[in-house]
Amino acid sequence: MTNKNRRRTDAIHHARRATRLAAALVSGLAAHAAHAQSSVSLYGLLDASLIYTNNAQGHSNIQAGSGSVTGSHWGLLGREELGGGNQAIFQIENGFSVTNGTLRQGGREFGYQAYAGLSNRQFGTVTLGRQYDSVVDYLAPLSFTGRHPGGNNLSTHPYDNDNLNNSFRVNNAVKFASVSYGGVKFGALYGFSNEAGGFSDNRLYSAGASYDAGPLSFAAGYFRADNPGVSNTDGAVTLTDRTFIADLQQTYGAGVNYAIGSGRVGFVWTRTQLGGLATINGANSLGLRQNGEGASFDNFEVNAAYRLTPTLELVGSYTYTDGTLSTASGGHHPKWHDVSMQMDYFLSKRTDLYVQATYQHIASDGSGLTADISGQSPSTTDEQVAVALGLRHRF
């Protein structure tokens, strides 16, 4: 072999080695990039407070509380890029008590949510597991009681009759949530009964939509639960989560919010109908008639928020609830008035101090119902006041 041919052969070998090295580097970088596009995030919130109630079963009470405003919880959120604008996703959330460390939501390890699914950037997301219904997803953020994150636990509409404050989640659920199309989002959910021969025995289905146009937001939602949690305990709704025992519950409503400078105002209306009602908030001593009518609640909420300074926010609401109730003594029309005010002082982006006061008055119309602020023991009269002073920390 001549020197000229030898030099040519060596050059070819060097070029091949350089090519293999470049390919290995590209492959390594691609693998690293793919790994970087998969993520799992840990997050959570702790809410600890002291609560004063003027009448809790006839006695004033001062107690330590957890989740007076926002339920204490932690969770894991995972995403994996699959290419083509697709992702595999999952989310698991645990609810717990700060005061004693016990699990909430009936002792579930992941009682807030637990689901897995697929997401597409052009169309939306399909998920399967324990999830929120469409009323919670679309309408609740426009209300004071359901304002995210986590809602406002002292200021639910009576007995959280419309579930805006997430008293129950939906098991065995398949959900679709769209991406935003010019500000419009929509979605639907179906929670299976999982019962052979009883497809509608403890099932739930819902749908909702929202529209955001700059400072103006609209939303509407609907859900219906058939025989929720009564005979089939493995179905869509678990009995321990519910404030009612009834053969049927359906809720629908709509709301609007408008942002003005550093503030916003809003209005939300919901209607809940209950058939075959047996108990309200664990009480079965009212002589409730288990008939097709049962009870109904029309909730009218006006809410407002204003950022006084970069670190100080004032939020409030007034809710009027017009109810109908069928008991052994006849038909009744109780009416509730609920006023709530909350002030937040933000020590940082993740930590705030709050004080909240809630007043409830009921005109029971002979129904036997008394004032009953969420999370507190019922009053023995038609009035009840609760004041909470607390600290929230997010991570």
Q: Which of 49-53, 291-295, 336-340, 372-376 has the lowest mean pLDDT?
A: 291-295
Question: How confident is the model at residue 244, as a pLDDT?
Answer: 87
pLDDT in tens, 72-102: 999 999 999 999 999 999 999 999 999 999 9
* Pair 374, 68: CB distance under 8 Å: no
Strand pairing class (244-245; 216-226): unpaired
Stretch 329-339: mean pLDDT: 92
Question: How confident is the model at residue 25, as a pLDDT?
Answer: 42
Give me the long-range contacts of 317-324 (CB less than 8 A, separation at least 24): 317/143, 317/144, 317/145, 317/155, 319/144, 319/145, 319/155, 319/157, 321/157, 321/158, 321/161, 321/297, 322/297, 322/298, 323/158, 323/295, 323/296, 323/297, 323/298, 324/293, 324/295, 324/296
Q: Model confidence at 29, in pLDDT bands (50, 70, 90)?
A: very low
Question: How confident is the model at residue 27, as a pLDDT?
Answer: 52
Strand pairing class (279-280; 295-309): unpaired
Does residue 258 carry a pLDDT above 60? Answer: yes
Continuous segment of H or E residues that includes residue 7 = helix 3-36
Amino acid at 233: T
Q: Model confidence at 31, in pLDDT bands (50, 70, 90)?
A: very low
DSSP-derived letter for residue 135 is I
Place of tokens 């949510």: 113
Q: Give the distance, in angstroms, between the CA of residue 168 and the centroid of all CA atoms in the same chain.
A: 9
Q: Is the dihedral of CA 71, 361, 279, 142 positive or negative?
A: negative
DSSP-derived letter for residue 239 is G
State pTM to two decimals.
0.87
pLDDT mean across residues, the chain: 89
pLDDT in tens, 298-332: 999 999 999 999 999 999 999 999 999 988 778 89
Question: How confident is the model at residue 28, as a pLDDT?
Answer: 47
Tell me what percent of the residues of the chain surpass a pLDDT of 70.
87
Q: Among residues 229, 232, 250, which one has the least CA distance to residue 240?
A: 229
Stretch 265-283: mean pLDDT: 89
Query: From the CB of residue 88, how many other CB atoms can be counted at a distance below 10 Å?
Result: 14
Stretch 232-243: mean pLDDT: 85
Q: Which of 120-134, 158-172, 233-247, 249-263 has the lowest mean pLDDT?
A: 233-247
Helix, strand, or coil here: 240?
Answer: helix
Question: How confident is the model at residue 276, as a pLDDT?
Answer: 87
In angstroms, the CA 293 to CA 250 distance is 12
Question: How confident is the model at residue 334, as a pLDDT?
Answer: 95
Class of 41-394 per CATH?
A: mainly beta
Does residue 289 carry a pLDDT above 90? Answer: no
In angstroms, the CA 252 to CA 354 distance is 31
Domain-by-domain residue ranges, the chain? 1-32, 41-394
* Pair 355, 388: CB distance under 8 Å: yes
Question: How confident is the model at residue 126, as a pLDDT?
Answer: 98
CA dist list (Å): 65 to 90, 107, 154, 374: 30, 18, 11, 13
Does residue 290 carry a pLDDT above 70? Answer: no
CA dist list (Å): 51 to 64, 176, 356, 390: 6, 39, 9, 8
Stretch 199-223: mean pLDDT: 96
Question: How confident is the model at residue 108, as a pLDDT?
Answer: 92
Question: How confident is the model at residue 146, as a pLDDT?
Answer: 86
Question: How confident is the model at residue 323, as a pLDDT?
Answer: 96
Phi, psi for 264 (deg, rounded to 5): -155, 155
Does residue 32 carry a pLDDT above 50? Answer: no
In angstroms, the CA 204 to CA 168 distance is 12
